[in-house]
Structure 1
Amino acid sequence: MALISDAKSFLTEWIEAVSRAIDAMAGRFGRAPRIELVEHDDGTFTASASNAKGGVDLPDLSFRFDGDAPDPPLPETWNVAFRGSRIEALLRADHVMTDQLDFPSKAADFLDGMIRAQVDRLTPWSANDAVFGWGAPTSAANDRIEVSFAATSREKVAPLLRFAEAVGAASVAILAPADPSAPIKLLDRPLRSVISAAVNVPRLLRGILLSSALAAAASLLVSAYLGGSLQSELDDLQQHIAQRRAALRLGTNGSASGLGLLAKRKQTTPSSVMVLEAISRALPDSTYVTELRIEGDKIQIVGMTQDAPSLIRLIEQSSPQFTRATFFAPTTHAANEPGERFHIEAHITAYFGSGS
């Protein structure tokens, strides 16, 4: 159960991460239609769409908020327009506090921290209870800059945020009319991407994962069935090959034809080249062979080494070709020789490797 729970948690986190990545890419490369909301003195909002979906021109719409719901209810054409759009709401001036701030010019790169630290002093709200922003700094006398500051309470903009979320907007921005030509942005919040507004990305990803799992299971079943059939055919083919090799070695029906005798002799006679190769692999680098004789099924080796007794074990263990290795003459060690002179004899059996 713990494994299933961990897998479910991992898949949930993966789906959320992929959804966020898709939303980020869509927000970066996809441009949402923009809808402007302007608040008037009587508390109503006027909505205007500068580039409505499908190129349809929508007439301006006026409404007020009854709680969080628009009054009157939005027409269906405007519901479609709001879905996946970017809402830019301009508050009326008496709902926003504005001030002109003065800083040294060197503070231009640190305005965010400096202004945030003074929100409690500049407004009746704390930094957590307010939404605030400032305009582009302008040069002033005595090497100083002036900055237009604006703020309002989060409670004031909460209905706008809930409305934007309810209509499925992609993002919402709250603006203050500090300067008619360049309003100050108090808040800019992404809600969902243009893709998420039209497609339920998590549901789509879950469908893709389920389809992939079903396809993988079907592939495994087909592979198991075909693999078993192919393995059976391979076993039959290998058996036929082995029978054919045996017939070629011994001659068909045990006949003693010339070809059969040659094949039998080849299989029972040791190969001198392979014997030389095997003995060269068996002897250590410190051993030198001065004489080597192959007579029938015996090999005799004479040479110099540092440890003659160990050669018996090395020769017998190095290859299945060599058996019953022994000394056929005494091992000697002369004063003018660097090691022991050995005389070893071993029996040879025909061996041509596992592929013969």
Structure 2
Amino acid sequence: MLAELKELFATWIAAVAAAVEAVMDRLASRRRVVLQEIDGDSFTARLGSVAKGAGLRPVSFRLTPHGRPEPPLSPQWRAALRSSVVEVQMRPDQVLFREVDFPKQAADFLDGMVRAQIDRLTPWAAGEAVYGLSPPQPGPHDRIVLMLAATARAKIQPLVDLAAGLGAASISGVVTVPADETAGTTIRLFNTRLAQAGRLAISIPRLLRGLLIGGGVAAAASFAVSAYLGARLDTELQDVQQRLNQRRAALRLNQGTSSAELLLTQRKRSSASSVMVLEALSRALPDSTYTTELRIEGDKMQVVGLTQDAPSLIRLLEQSPQFTRATFFAPTTRAAEDPGERFHIEAHITPYFGSGS
């Protein structure tokens, strides 16, 4: 499992680096130089863009095994090759061709399947060969057919040394399949980035690895900080709950020791004083009304007396903030010897008599 993860990670790094490099190549305008192979070690160099190098004529040279051109290139050609994109057009007779076929379902894994069989398809091991594949074509029996082109890595090494020594940005090799095999198909054998491009190819994977490692370290640090803060908050919450429980226990204890006092205080606040009820009643009743009886039971008051207009007393008591739900509890009568009407009124007492009570 670990080996598969490492391989997947390396493949992802390479794919991202290749994508970034491709974007950089599109943004950067580079001169294209073509090296046409004449025979095994002889080449002709020409500029791929005539407009940019109208003053430079094609030049032929022989390449030594150490990557040195003979005769040496002119300063103008050396300057033209610096930071350029070099494309080597190789002779078909210097390249090995093999037609291979695979099941149609293997179309997405062709490179890996060919790499695993390169020592069987060519005279070289996988690390000693450079190769390319043509686009797959449909074949009989639900299979796909493609052309493999390969050559020895030792053959292209002097070309890579030449391009690197002259400061080229990259060098690639292509070959055209002979007409009797697959007419006119061009296969790219290798593509090597050099100089600034090579440093970029190295820096991008390092940058990606650094970003992933940094992200992992940041995530681990965040998890550790959150765990520490969570444990600290839990401890503080338990401490607060413990102190709250102690405070509640103390309050319950105080309530138990002074329950009688609290009962008296509650009764005082909930029960109206007879003196204050009498005072509030005297303020509410008119001067022409006389009270003969007054009874107070809990929050209910009953008053009996004489007045000139008994129904108006109900309204006067209701207007007082100390009385509510005033009503007659007995019929109103008028005797011949009485100076007015005899009323019987009861009302509920509100145990609040001003802000100072």
Q: TM-score, normalised by structure 2?
A: 0.48
Q: TM-score, normalised by structure 1?
A: 0.48
